Amino acid sequence: MIQINNKTNAMRILDKAHIPYRANYYTCDEFIDGVHIADMLGQPYEQTFKTLVSTGKSGKYYVFVIPIAQELDLKAAAKSVNEKSIELLHVKDLKNVTGYIRGGCTAIGMKKPYPTVIDDSFLRFEEIIVSGGALGVQLFITPDNFIKATGANHAHITTA
């Protein structure tokens, strides 16, 4: 379990760039999915975002950030990064590619800077909730600061 004083790599990156955020620590003995965590913490699904990593037909990696209860539209996502097609990265490869584990994956501070696209729905919020880079840690960050930290573009990339 993460102690309140421990900073994740994502937090250190935000601190170094002087990008404001708020951290939320919670107990996570077993990660099921983001919806389960939002239910446990009483957070709105549409304001809480999950990070998905994919591989394009070209072999390049891409990161997509969408609301936790939504599904990624693979065609729209591929189009947003100028790929013919993409497929989601298998969970067993996640740590090797990103440095993060399932449930603690964030677009901030991956091993390498991969092209990142966040769903347009984030524009509705003054603050979004994303993983903090470890199980049991969330970051509350403004959409503008998320883009500043990740270099993300935005597009409509969900199926609904």
**DSSP letter for each residue of 16-31:** HTT---EEEE---SS-
Question: Tokens in use for 90?
Answer: 């298998």
Give residue 1's pLDDT.
41
Q: In terms of pLDDT, which residue wins out, 45 or 103?
A: 45
pLDDT in tens, 65-113: 999 999 999 999 999 999 999 999 998 999 999 989 888 899 999 999 9
Question: Which residue bears the tokens 């891409």?
Answer: 62
Question: What is the identity of the amino acid at 83?
Answer: E
Question: Which residue bears the tokens 């239910």?
Answer: 39
Enter the pTM of the model: 0.92
At residue 68, the 3 state secondary structure works out as coil
Q: Give the integer Cα–Cα distance in Å for 108 and 93.
A: 18
- Domains in the chain (CATH in brackets) are 22-155 (3.90.960.10)
pLDDT in tens, 116-160: 999 999 999 999 999 998 888 999 999 999 999 999 999 999 996
Residue 114's nearest CA partner among 49, 56, 33, 36 is 56
pLDDT above 60: residue 4: no
Percent of the chain beyond pLDDT 90?
75
Residue 77's nearest CA partner among 115, 39, 127 is 115
CB neighbours of residue 62 within 10 Å:
21
